[in-house]
């Protein structure tokens, strides 16, 4: 564990130190977000924060390669090379979009290309987590892999609308995924915890933690599409790579120590909030005849702001939901299912009441006002 935490710290420090420089470069080159009607921000914010996150993750991966304990990850560089090339492609497309607002179709081509690069480097959906059913046809594997990559990238891209939101949600979900992957690897070989999925989550969480001090409200810089798409790509690559570990698990461990549906439950729980926002956006925009990729002011974070929450309050509330989903899923590994289920129901009920608080208070105010008016009329 200490080696992964070391890599995480390196990624965080590099990202934290590099972000102010990227901010200066973004301002001088004019790479910033203008003030638009649909945005929460009221001042110009430089983009390209994702560049600092990218460098932090790459330096973290490089540091891991120099640690003997993690050498097993780099014994075969195929998967590592695939992740690196896919990240480089997304970095390029994201920087172009942040600088020039390129057409959504060009971004989609880049996202599909990143998925193809993963497939070509043996990171693909080979095993369906539910029941551990093999996906034998390589074309089916490739199509499912690319679809999941594009879906996850856009989910994180859509949720990046408030200061610190995407980075915080990714850090919370990534840390839960990190714990799960680390324990899963130890279950396969108790003497060697080196695993690409665990490493990817370590550098992702580190980059997010290093970026958050500059990005939390009031932010000094935005991660832009560069950072949001990178987070989605790395999360997707990890979720796909973890399926290759399932075949190495004994049946006894699968069903005794980890719930049978955990490999599909955890990635879903980690990305549930971004995926939900993406789904609602597609339905909302399609219903009014617009492109699913057209921007609007109907995201979950917009609803919270419009409902009465302040900017940081809305972000912290969405952090709470992400924490409950991600760590609730991980808790099934350690505690009786009935205890976790009961705790989740209570926690989610409390979070729901907290989320609906402004609307419930306004409704109560209207009821009291109508009651007083009726009494005065009598």
Residue 265 has pLDDT above 70, yes or no: no
Q: What is the pLDDT confidence band of residue 55, given thresholds at 50, 70 and 90?
A: very high
Interatomic CA distance for residues 170 and 234, integer angstroms:
10
Pairing verdict, β 127-128 and 133-134: antiparallel
225: number of Cβ within 10 Å? 25
List, for residues 306-352, the tens digit of each pLDDT value: 677 788 888 888 899 888 888 888 887 778 888 988 999 999 899 88
Selection from 95-109, 130-144, 200-214 with the highest mean pLDDT: 200-214
Asked whether the CA dihedral 271, 276, 279, 281 is positive or negative, the reply is negative
pLDDT of residue 251 exceeding 50: no
**If you average pLDDT over every residue of the chain, what do you get?**
82
- Contact indicator for 19, 48 with CB cutoff of 8 Å: no
Q: Given the structure tokens 């097993």, which residue do they identify? A: 72
Token couple for 310:
């302040």
* pLDDT value at 60 more than 70: yes
- Residue 291, pLDDT above cutoff 80: no
For every residue of 158-215, DSSP letters joined together read HH--STTHHHHHHHHHHHHHHHHHHHHHHHH-TT----HHHHHHHHHHHHHHHHHHHH
**Given pLDDT bands bounded at 50, 70 and 90, which one contains residue 116?**
very high
Phi, psi of 102 (to 5 degrees): -70, 165
Rounded to whole angstroms, the Cα distance separating 340 from 342 reads 5
Quick one: which H or E segment has residue 348?
A: helix 337-355
Predicted confidence at residue 61, as pLDDT, reads: 96
Going by DSSP bridges, is the β-strand pair 127-128/45-46 parallel, antiparallel, or unpaired? unpaired
- Read off the tokens for 278: 């993406």
Q: Percent of the chain beyond pLDDT 70?
A: 76
> What's the pLDDT at 295?
63
Of 45-49, 139-143, 173-177, 293-297, which range is least confident?
293-297
Residues 6+ apart with CB under 8 A from 249: 184, 187, 188
Q: What percent of the chain has pLDDT over 90?
A: 41
pLDDT of residue 173 exceeding 60: yes
In this predicted structure, the answer to whether residue 369 has a pLDDT above a threshold of 80 is no
- pLDDT band per the 50, 70, 90 thresholds, residue 261: very low
Residue 375 pLDDT grade (very low, low, confident, very high; cuts 50, 70, 90): low
pLDDT at 3: 94
What local confidence, expressed as pLDDT, does residue 279 receive? 76
Question: What average pLDDT does the segment 229-236 reach?
Answer: 94
The answer to which of 46-50, 69-73, 157-161, 295-299 has the lowest mean pLDDT is 295-299
Q: Give every CB contact of residue 362 below 8 A, 6+ residues apart in sequence.
A: 308
């Amino acid at each position: 564990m200490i080696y992964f935490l070391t890599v995480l710290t390196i990624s965080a420090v590099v990202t934290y130190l590099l972000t102010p420089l990227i901010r200066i470069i973004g301002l001088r080159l004019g790479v910033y977000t203008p003030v638009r009607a649909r945005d929460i921000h009221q001042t110009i914010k430089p983009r390209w924060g994702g560049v600092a996150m990218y460098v932090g993750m790459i330096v973290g991966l490089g540091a891991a390669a120099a640690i003997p304990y993690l050498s097993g990850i780099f014994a075969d560089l195929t998967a590592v090379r695939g992740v690196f090339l896919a990240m480089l492609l997304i970095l390029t497309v994201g920087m172009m979009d942040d600088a020039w607002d390129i057409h959504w179709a060009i971004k989609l081509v880049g996202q599909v290309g990143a998925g193809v690069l993963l497939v070509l480097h043996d990171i693909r959906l080979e095993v369906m987590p539910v029941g551990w059913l093999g996906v034998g046809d390589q074309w089916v594997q490739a199509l499912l892999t690319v679809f999941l990559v594009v879906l996850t990238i856009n989910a994180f891209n859509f949720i990046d609308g408030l200061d610190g939101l995407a980075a915080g949600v990714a850090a919370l979900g990534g840390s839960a995924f990190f714990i799960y992957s680390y324990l899963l690897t130890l279950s396969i070989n108790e003497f060697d915890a080196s695993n690409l999925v665990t490493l990817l989550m370590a550098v992702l969480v580190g980059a997010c933690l290093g970026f958050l001090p500059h990005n939390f409200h009031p932010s000094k810089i935005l991660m832009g599409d560069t950072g949001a798409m990178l987070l989605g790509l790395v999360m997707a690559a990890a979720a796909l790579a973890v399926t290759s570990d399932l075949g190495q698990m004994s049946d006894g461990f699968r069903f005794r120590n980890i719930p049978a549906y955990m490999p599909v439950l955890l990635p879903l729980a980690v990305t549930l909030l971004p995926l939900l926002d993406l789904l609602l956006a597609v339905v909302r925009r399609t219903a009014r005849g617009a492109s699913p990729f057209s921007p609007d002011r109907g995201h979950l974070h917009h609803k919270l702001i419009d409902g009465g929450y302040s900017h940081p309050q809305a972000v912290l509330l969405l952090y709470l939901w992400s924490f409950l989903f991600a760590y609730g899923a991980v808790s099934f590994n350690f505690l009786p299912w009935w205890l976790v289920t009961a705790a989740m129901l209570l926690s989610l009920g409390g979070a729901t009441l907290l989320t609906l608080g402004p609307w419930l208070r306004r409704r109560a105010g209207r009821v009291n006002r109508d009651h007083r008016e009726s009494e005065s009329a009598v």
